[in-house]
Every structure is written in structure tokens, then in C-alpha cells.
Amino acid sequence: MTQTVVSETVRRSPLFQGLTEEEIDGVLLNGQLYSLPRGSVLFRQGDAITYFYLIARGIIQLYRGTADGHEKTLDIVTVGQPFCESEVMNGYSHHRASATAVNDALIMKFPVFWLKETIKRHDKFALNLLCIISQQAHIAEVEAEHQARMSAAQLVACFFQWLCKLYDLDYHSFTLPYSKTLIASRLGMDLATFSRALGRLKNQHLSTSGAHVEIHDIERIGKYACDGCSFAENCPAHWSLKGKSGPAYLRNHITR
């Protein structure tokens, strides 16, 4: 991937929405590209926070090890998405999660102090950041509600719809962008439970074979996943799959 393409994906990040090309140029001068081969660790929980990151290529897993030896994936971040921005802002000095490359990745990193300075200097940048973090907070709330209220199969159905939206996949027929083990960890369930949940979804017009998924009746899946979910159109799973709004994280910014 050439330098040009990289900067294009980075430039489209919601973080820079509304900035002029020149402003973005100025910002990007402060970031450095960093190559991260598959499986390598970017930082571990407990490390000091020194950078904030933006993904130019690849997928990063954010996860946390628990005292009892388990591991929960907090998030799986993709091209154009920033991460660690909320860690930077909320006053902790050390990472509360670890980050590993799921596949060969390329990230752009910005020093923390630079971020804080930029916030003070650029209105728009600060507003974008507020937006992004607010949305994260909302999604996390949704997540907590789902965990408390929905069955494993519902969580999976919901997550698949979210995946389609995020990666711009055709829900009729798509391939999972990463392993089932990772998805199960992301959903906070056992791999065995995940596997069985897929079995149950066969009755709901969603079939899988290997990493390939087909949703035959999207209406039904939407209904099934979120009958126990209170989000209606605010639920990630419900964000209109037909809308052409592009990846979800690019939307919903403050308009004025």
C-alpha cells in the first residue's frame, strides 16, 4: 500500500471531519507511521500512555487479561478508527488494556501532549473528539445492556449486523473478517457457546459454513436479535442496513 493510499484512509477518519485539507496536512505532520506485523504487541495494560493511535491498515485487538487468567476482548478496531483517545483523555496515566495486531497492520501514532495541545487549539478537532468519545460511551452502554439482557444467539446476530455495517459487507453473503475465537472473546462468551449459538441461528434464516455467513432474512434476524433489545433505531444492530451512510463510525457528527 502506497503512502498516498494510507494518507487517504487516515484523512477520511471522523477525527478530521470538517477540517480543511491544509489543516489535516498540518495535523498529519505530527504523526508517525508505524508498521505492526501480525501478532505483535503494540502496548500492554499497565504500560505508560505515550501515544494515541489511528489505524491506516489492518485490525487491532484491544483486550484485557483478568486476574483469573481469562481474557476479554474489549474492542476490535479497524481502518480509520482512532483508539486510546479516551484513555488519553480521562486522566489515567497507564493503559488499561493491551493491544495486538490481528493481521499485518499499519498505524499512525501521535504523542499524547500533541493531542492535548491540538484540542485546545482547534475547536473542530475538540468537537470531533467529543463526538467520537460520546458515541463510544453510548455504544458501551448498549453493550452492557445487551450483555445483561440478550441470549448468546441474540448477541451473535446483533454483532453480525454490526459487522456488515462496519465493514460494508453484503449481509446476504459475507465472510467473517476475523476468527470465531476472536469474535467469541469480543462477545464475552465461550467459544463453545458461540459455536452452539450459530447452530441455533440456523432456525432463524442465518446459515454459516466455516467463516462464510449467509443471512437469508434480514428482517427476521433484526427482530430476533433485538426483541430483547431496547434500541430500535439507536441499536447498532438496527442501523439501517440499506442506508448508504457508509461505516457507522463516520456518521452522526455534530452538524453545526
Where does this chain bind DNA (CB under 7 A)?
A: 70, 148, 151-153, 179-181, 188-199, 208, 210-211
In the structure, how many helices (H) and strands (E) does the chain have? 9, 11
162 closest CA partner among 114, 254, 225: 225
| By CB under 8 A, residue 193 contacts a copy of itself | no
Residue 230 binding a copy of itself, by CB under 8 A: yes
CA angle 103, 105, 110 (to 5 degrees): 145
Nearer of residues 91 and 210 to DNA, judged by Cβ: 210
Q: Which one of residues 21, 22, 120, 219 is an interface residue with a copy of itself (CB under 8 A)? A: 120
CA dihedral 77, 81, 84, 89 (to 10 degrees): -140
Which residue from 131, 169, 191, 241 is in contact with a copy of itself, where contact means CB under 8 A? 131
Closest contact distance (angstroms) between CB of 97 and a copy of itself is: 9
Q: Say which entry of DNA, a copy of itself, none residue 48 contacts (CB below 5 to 8 A, set by partner kind).
A: none
Contact 215, 176 (CB under 8 A): no
What are the start-end ranges of the H helices in 122-202?
123-149, 152-167, 180-186, 191-201
Residues 9-68 contacting a copy of itself, CB under 8 A: 64-68
**What per-residue string of b and e applies to 148-181 under the rule 16 or more CB within 10 Å gives b?**
eebebbbbbbbbbbbbbbbeebebeebebbbebe
User: What do you get for the CA distance between the two ends of the chain, in Å?
Assistant: 35
Q: In this complex, which beta carbon is closest to a copy of itself, that of residue 56 or of residue 74?
A: 74
Rule CB under 8 A: is residue 149 a binding residue for a copy of itself? Answer: yes
Sign of the Cα pseudo-torsion (25, 26, 27, 30, in order) = positive
Grid coordinates representing 6? 494510507
Is residue 245 part of the contact set for a copy of itself (CB under 8 A)?
A: no
Position 219 contacts a copy of itself (CB under 8 A): no
Closest CA to 88 of 35, 48, 28: 48
**Edge-first strand listing for the sheet containing 174-175:** 174-175, 212-215, 206-209
- Is 132 or 213 the residue whose CB approaches DNA more closely? 213
* 182 is an interface residue for a copy of itself by CB under 8 A: no
Restricted to residues 92-111, the positions that interact with a copy of itself (CB under 8 A) are 92, 96
Q: Which option in a copy of itself, DNA, none does residue 158 bind, with CB closer than 5 to 8 A by kind?
A: none
Q: Which does 22 bind (CB under 5 to 8 A by kind): DNA, a copy of itself, none?
A: none
* Positions in the binding site for a copy of itself (CB under 8 A): 64-68, 70, 72, 74, 86-87, 89-92, 96, 116, 119-120, 123, 126-127, 129-131, 133-138, 140-141, 143-145, 147-149, 187-189, 226-232, 234, 251-255
